[in-house]
Amino acid sequence: MNLRLADMAIKAYQGILDENDNARLAFFRTLWGVQQECAQDLEVAYEVPSAHDLKAAIKLSTPVFATKGVPVDGAAFAQVIEALCKATVEAQVALPEVNADLAAIKWDEIVTASDLELAGVNPSAYLVQVSEQLMAAGVSQVSIGMALSFVSMALRTMIEGPAEEVWNAVKAAELVEICHPQACPVCGSAPSLSHVGGETSSSGRGRKLVCTQCGTAWEYERVRCARCGTQDQTSLHFFNLEGDDSHRIATCDECGQYIRTLFSESKLLPTSYEVEDVVMARLDAVAMDPRFQGGAA
């Protein structure tokens, strides 16, 4: 994560966001600081697959980590999760019962009992496994949701470096132009958001999908559903909150799903996908509202 870029983006939003959004950004900024501090002490040894193997994986739309996973140090991983939980409990941003749950979870035991090989091969499947472990331990559903976000953030500190190495190798092998999958080409996670404009191959008119699990951003067709892949223009729509044209919901009639989308006109504006992920959280509430029928919300 580029924390300096995140700080620049947060500063650019000053005076634009409301009090609640600013408070959420301040909280996540604290967590990102914990992530970065923990990442400084990590050494993840990862050998990037050959150009031949990368090309084979990309042609088959197989995530690179599925062919060669990242080794995850269980002790270090548990420590990062515990640090994130501790920072959250100290910030008192969650309900008292959630804070109590987070403080009581024995992450060293959870991580030891989990499939760490799966964590480095398929992060999404690993999160499901940990969710089941927490449920079996009697942790409430609300607390599980927050706890999993910390597991995801901690896992990013483990796989972000290797993911960057893989993507640099993909670019060096000139494979970017044939790499347009719906899931992250590196770790296989579903994209958290998309970005229209900015630095794309089509002079700012293109679109990228963004994986906030490993930090990879890859180009994707602008007129195509990011969830089911349909290119039927009559099924694809964009909606936004009134007064905010930069943040929109891209919906699909065929699959009924959506993806939050950032529209940026200028390459000069600081864009942090971590910050945008937080800012666009309000769009999730809009998309899930049964009253949402389209048009400006």
Taking only the tens place, the pLDDT of each residue in 30-41 is: 999 999 999 988
pLDDT in the model for residue 295: 46
* 267 or 8, which is more confident: 8
Taking only the tens place, the pLDDT of each residue in 137-174 is: 999 999 999 999 999 999 999 999 999 999 999 999 99
Tokens of 9: 């983006």
pLDDT in the model for residue 269: 76
Indicate if the pLDDT at residue 205 is higher than 80: no
Taking only the tens place, the pLDDT of each residue in 52-69 is: 999 999 999 999 999 999
Q: Which helix (H) or strand (E) holds 262?
A: strand 258-264
Q: Once rounded to an integer, what is the mean pLDDT over residues 108-128? A: 97
Contact, 219 vs 208, CB < 8 A?
yes
Query: Under 8 Å CB-to-CB from 53, ≥6 apart: which residues?
Result: 67, 68
Q: Once rounded to an integer, what is the mean pLDDT over residues 191-203? A: 77
Q: Cα angle vertex 178, ends 175, 179, to 5°? A: 85
Q: Cα angle vertex 157, ends 106, 65, to 5°? A: 105
For the chain, the average pLDDT equals: 91
Tokens of 36: 């970065």
pLDDT in the model for residue 227: 95
